Structure formats: structure tokens, C-alpha cells
Amino acid sequence: MRLSDRASIPPQVMTRTVGDEVVILDLATGTYFGLDPVGARIWELMGEGKTLAEICDQMLAEYEVSREELEHDVLRLAEELEQQGLIAASADPSFG
């Protein structure tokens, strides 16, 4: 997974907001995953079709965190979600 990748959410994956957290459920497999408020914001930006780099840019504007730490956390979350089958990552053709 790279920062230039774009995450897409498969149609069988549903989300529900519970307080300030998000619960993700894959209806096909029964896999569920909980996200804290920061993870929920990353998920929301993924749902908007942003690349992981664009998500980092947006998150840097919203949170006080170093770019290095943020990129690490976004990539780690994306990789975990992909391993669980909750997102599919694809390369953004506009990045060379």
C-alpha cells in the first residue's frame, strides 16, 4: 500500500456511527471493525474517494500531528482494513 493509492469501499461493507466512533461490517463475511474518532475521520475521507496522500493532507489541516506519524498511521489503518477485506486499494493513475 502506498500513499498514492485510493481506497474504495466494497458495496457489501456497511458502516454505522455509534457516538463518535464508527463500526464497519462486511455483510458477506460477518467481519466487523471499530474505529475511534480519528480512524472514523480517515474512513470518511476514504469514502470521499481521496488518495491516502490527500487524506494525510486533509488530516494535517485538522489535527496537530507530524506528517511522518500521520502517514504511518494512515498506511497502517489502510493495510489493516484491506487485510480484513473492508477496502480495496488501487493505484491512482494521476500519480506518476
- Inter-CA distances, 25 with 9, 34, 63, Å: 11, 9, 27
Query: What's the CATH number of domain 5-89, 3.40.50.2020, 3.90.930.60, 3.10.20.30, 3.40.50.300?
Result: 3.90.930.60
Give the pLDDT confidence of 45-59 residue by residue, as tens digits: 999 999 999 999 999
Residue 4 to residue 96: CA distance in whole angstroms:
9
Q: What is the mean pLDDT of residues 20-27?
A: 92
User: If pLDDT is split at 50, 70 and 90, which confidence band does 6 have?
Assistant: very high
Provide the residue type at 87 as one letter. Answer: I
pTM score, two decimals? 0.88
User: SS3 breakdown of the chain: % helix, strand, coil, rounded to 5?
Assistant: 40, 25, 35
**What pLDDT does residue 94 have?**
60
Kindly tell me if the per-residue pLDDT of 26 is higher than 80.
Answer: yes
- Taking CB atoms within 8 Å and a gap of at least 24, the contacts of 53-56 are 53/3, 53/4, 53/95, 56/3
